[in-house]
Amino acid sequence: MKKTVVLSVLLFAGLVVFGCTGVKPAGYGAGTPPPIITQFFSPVDKGPYGGTIFIYLAAEDPAGDMERIAVQVTQVGYGFYPTSFTYLKPNHQKKFVGYLQWNTYGDAESLPEWTNITMNITVMDRYGQQSNAVVVPYQFASGSFANRPLPAPFNQGRMSRLGYIDIDLVNPEAATFGGGK
């Protein structure tokens, strides 16, 4: 009897915790198509560290349950950074055309000239299904670089800022990895 009560209480507690975490069981949401990034564009592929990078995206989801944009950055000579998530407003959950903004100046005072990064961008729905990935290469270099003109649908007047990319880059030449001098 005691064993049955204890098992019932543990099962109930597990259901409460599982239900409150928002974690969905495998296959939940199956049958609904994942989001699709229909177009993307970056006006420049190189620029100075400390500048602002704009990434234009258009995406749609027939189920209307897009939840967030995930940006994973890889830096040559350093590695991967934690993913930056931008949560979408309710009016962007079915379809959006807008841009992400990344103000690159962060903890690193500077980056070595010609530092290369790659941004891997996907859109996720509330069930964790991911869209197709788009890959945007970028190189940090001194100088002034001309923006390419925005193509359709990004040239249709005022564009909605979807959010910010929140990643602080590291200068691998200045980083200390344990120990000291």
Strand partners, 96: 59
What pLDDT, on the 0 to 100 scale, is given for residue 71?
98
Of 127-131, 159-163, 175-179, the poorest mean pLDDT is in 175-179
**Residue scoring higher pLDDT (115 or 21):** 115
| CATH code matching the domain that covers 31-164, chosen among 3.30.499.10, 3.30.590.10, 2.60.40.10, 3.30.565.10 | 2.60.40.10
Asked whether the beta carbons of 104 and 50 are under 8 A apart, the reply is yes
CA distances from 73 to 40, 88, 122 (A): 16, 20, 12
Of 2-11, 25-34, 43-52, where does mean pLDDT reach its minimum?
Answer: 2-11
Would you say how long the chain is, in residues?
Answer: 181
Residue 152's alpha-carbon distances to 23, 96, 131, 171, in angstroms, are 38, 13, 21, 36
What pLDDT is attached to residue 155? 94
